[in-house]
Structure 1
Amino acid sequence: MNKSELVAAMAAKAEISKKDAEKALKAFEDAVMEELTNDGKVQLVGFGTFEVTERKPRVGRNPKTNEEIQIPGGKAPKFKAGKALKDAVNQ
């Protein structure tokens, strides 16, 4: 499912226009992005948690030359599925 299909499904389930569903999805994306940018986390009970994790710097290998390279650390967004979502997927 791509973004336009998601917007159409949201509009149908909520019985709203596609334009309003697209605004709601954009607002959700913006709110999550803003919270993660500020090192926060977003918990949706039963659905899952969006959070930021720290990646440590590590040594990698260039597959073409087999030379060792340094891979810098940084932050990465992470999603952890909640119990209700896991149960729904596993049925």
Structure 2
Amino acid sequence: MTKKSAKAPATKPAAKKPAEKAAPAAKAAPNAEVNKVAKTQMVDMVAEKTGLTKKQSEEAVSAAMEAIVNAIRAGQSVGLPGLGTLSVKATAARTGVKPGTSERIQIPAGKKVAFKVASTLKGNL
């Protein structure tokens, strides 16, 4: 058994190497998420600001997001005072180039969601 225990420390540093490689990726992820506000964070902010419970705040945030998505799907513009306007824009058919092969491909017409920032927000950035 002493031989096995002597070999065990030799395998532990090898096990740490993959963890060390994963550590830089883990360090990069928190920095990327610092600039992003998740839905749960939005719920917490609404609960704190309004005095509602977290469950009530989650329902309110979900209802607001669902209303916005449904309006955009219906082709309507959604104006959010102090934030901006979400709208649906039609895109024209066009010719593109396939990466790697340089082959010309036809991209069909479609729709995209556009966002125009409110001038009050733009001025405050």
Same fold by TM-score greater than 0.5? yes
Structure 1 moving runs of 4+ over 4 Å:
none
Distance 2:87 2:102 in 1: 34
Name 1:60's counterpart in structure 2.
96
Q: Which runs of 5+ in 1 are unaligned?
A: none
Q: Higher relative contact order at CA 8 Å, sep ≥6: structure 1 or structure 2?
A: 1
**How many Å apart are 1:28 and its aligned residue?**
0.9
Q: Which runs of 5+ in 2 are unaligned?
A: 1-36
Specify which of 55, 67, 78 is matched with residue 42 of structure 1.
Answer: 78
For residue 45 of structure 1, report the CA deviation from its aligned partner: 2.7
Identity of aligned residues (%): 35
Q: State the Cα distance separating 1:46 from its structure 2 match.
A: 2.4
Query: Which structure would you say has the larger Rg?
Result: 2
Cα distance in 2 for residues equivalent to 1:29 and 1:62: 35
Alignment of 1:20-35 (within 5 A): 20-35=56-71
Q: Please say if 1:10 is aligned against 2:46.
A: yes
SS state of the match for residue 46, structure 1?
coil
The AA in structure 2 aligned to 1:6 is M
Secondary structure at the counterpart of residue 40 of structure 1 = coil
2:98 aligned with 1:84: no
Higher strand share: 1
Query: 2:110 matched to which residue of 1?
Result: 74
Letter in 2 for 1:41: S
Deviation at 1:44, TM superposition (A): 2.3
* TM-score (norm: length of structure 2): 0.65
Quote the Cα distance in structure 2 between the aligned partners of 1:62 and 1:9: 44
